[in-house]
Structure 1
Amino acid sequence: MVMILGKPLPLLFGQLLLGLINGSFYAMLSMGLAIIFGLLRIINFAHGAMFMVGAFVTWALFTYLHIDYWGALICAPVIVGLFGVALERTVIRRIYKLDILYGLLLTFGLAQILQGLATNYFGVSGVSYEAPHGLGGVVNLGFMYLPIYRGFVVFAALVICGATWALIECTRLGALLRAATENPALVQAFGVNVPRLLALTFGGGVALAALAGVLAAPLYSVNPGMGSDLIDTVFAVVVIGGMGSIGGAILTGFALGIIEGFTDVFYPPGSAVVVFVVMAIVLLARPAGLFGKTA
């Protein structure tokens, strides 16, 4: 058997795949956080709860409306995104002019409410969701067995992250969003409905979290704690990449997922803290993050 650094090659490739899967969720969630913070200056602590809500909406669509996985890929992000728009219009917009800490406290409270409601209705253990037909089974690549659905998750995350980055950075809509956060009065003077634009931005950010929840539903138990289990690491990813940097969030999310996966091979006890060790090192060397703008 081929060995690298004393470890079997299939084991290393298996951990690489696991790292890419975790990195896919880190990248998608941190990207949504970066969009919301970069454009609205809101630290959305409820982002993990939206990830959880997206997974439960996926389960509910199938259980009660018989909408399959492919339909949920479209419907669940739209439903959660509309919920996010309603939150922005009724609650979030009231704190735009307040200290940033108020947004953190408000969204933390929203996260606790959503998690409590899910726990009360579904219980702590949650529910299960089967992988879609056509994406089950494994493929023998010679050096490892690749579960088809896991490969699909990585591919889908890459496409979604790339498309979102291009939308924000390379289109007129993205330019309007960036301009509206810098000088909303000027943008409003050109006939753009800035409040609607900001509401759609928040809705789009939480829709990305819900989309990640749809992808995660067949992989993990759909339970009320699934978002809170990820949110600390996702915040660390955003800080390392640079607060508000969408490209930084994507690259850092995938990179840290891989680092975490390989750490689990060579030093398993360190896999739970390696992301935070990297965060500390990066902040000491570059307080604004790897891709953040220095003052």
Structure 2
Amino acid sequence: MFDGISTQLLFGQVLIGLINGSFYAMLSLGLAIIFGLMNVVNFAHGAQYMLGAFVSWLLLSTFGVPYWGALFIAPVVVAIFGLAMERVVLKPLQDMDHLYSLLATYAVALIVEGLVRQQFGSTGLPYASPIPGGTNLGFMYLPWYRLWVVCFSLVTCIATWMLIEHTKLGAYLRAATERPEIVESFGINVPRMVTLTYAFGVGLAGLSGVLAAPIYQVSPSMGSNLMIVIFAVVVIGGMGSIVGAIFTGYLLGVVEGLTKVFYPEGANLVIFVVMILALIFRPSGLFSSTERSR
């Protein structure tokens, strides 16, 4: 193709970009939901993603629960952890400066990662693919599980967007960020709604961890290594923007993959270069004008 770049390499990197973009989109979607409703920058999101992977690994290695069971159980377990965290850590800080909640969630992330590392060590733990094999498309080999991850994450993101943007529950959530007293006049418990929304965002992180377990080795640092990229995605898409989180996540995953083909040395930097350009020319985010800040 271009100066000796093969079609197989090009499409292979696009596939890798879509896979990475799937995790970028799902994780940044959870962050956008939490920030949009609670104005909390959830630094513990990476640790919650890591917990989802570890819970799925424990379910398989200790209780014999296969991947398909963990796909439902692990996000619920992580969401319950989120419920407890919101009640114990975030609720007492809700009337204070947002910096306090940021520091508190960062402290929780360090504690959780440290406890997991102490218990299981730093070495990555393997998790067998639940859908082995793949198909040869002629120009590239497509593993079935990676195709499943891209499709499942896309469906999850679209379903979450529709829930928030096109249902009565979503309307209540959006209204609760601006006029909670009006929402409460309809008999809705706004504090409980906030807690459940945080748990939902955390559950998305846990679900992402389950999806990631068969692709990346399950390790205590898998979340912290990813979080700085996720925050960059959220900033580029627009803080609190649901559409921005989804679209930007997939887009930057593909851009990162293509950069590995044409300029490998810049692959680890391209997302942050885009973030700097976005902050200079569009500081409120790419989707700030098409979607109300929540």
Give your verdict on TM over 0.5.
yes
- Aligned residues: percent identity? 58
Q: Which residue of 1 aligns with 2:225?
A: 229
Among 256, 264, 268, which residue is 2:264 paired with?
A: 268
Cα distance, 1:283–1:52 mapped onto 2, change above 3 Å:
same
Q: 2:47 aligns with which of 42, 46, 49?
A: 49
Measured in 1, the distance between the counterparts of 2:223 and 2:39 equals: 22
Alignment counterpart, residue 142 of structure 1, candidates 138, 143, 146: 138
Output the TM-score relative to the length of structure 1. 0.96
Aligned length: 291
One-letter identity of the residue aligned with 2:75: P
SS of 2:132's equivalent in the other structure is coil
Which consecutive residues of structure 1, in runs of 5 or more, have no partner in the other structure? none
RMSD of aligned C-alpha atoms? Answer: 1.2
**Letter of the structure 1 residue corresponding to residue 18 of structure 2:** L
Please give the TM-score of this superposition, normalised by the length of structure 2: 0.97
TM alignment of 1:10-21, pairs within 5 A: 10-21=8-19
- Partners of 1:43 and 1:63 in 2: how far apart? 33
Q: CA deviation at 1:126?
A: 3.3
Determine if the alignment matches structure 1 residue 131 to structure 2 residue 129.
yes
Alignment CA distance shift 1:170-1:5 (3 Å)? farther
Cα deviation for residue 5 of structure 1 reads: 5.3
Query: 1:114-138 CA deviation, whole Å, 9 max, x = no partner?
Result: 0000100010113211111xx1112
Task: Look up the match of 2:212.
Answer: 216
In structure 2, what is the Cα distance between the partners aligned to 1:203 and 1:261? 32
Encode CA deviations 1:87-125: one digit per residue, 9 max, x unaligned: 112221111221111111010000000000010001011
Give the whole-Å Cα distance in 2 for the aligned partners of 1:247 and 1:5. 36
Residue in 1 that maps onto 2:69: 71
- Where structure 2 has 5 or more consecutive residues not aligned to the other structure, the ranges are none
CA distance in 2, matches of 1:83, 1:185: 28
Q: Which amino acid aligns with 1:126?
A: G
Structure 1 outlier segments of 4+, above 4 Å: none
Q: Partner of 1:238: helix, strand, or coil?
A: helix
CA distance in 2, matches of 1:231, 1:218: 19
d(CA) in 2 for partners of 1:11, 1:116:
38
What amino acid is the match of 1:247? Answer: V
Task: State the match for 1:84 in structure 2.
Answer: 82
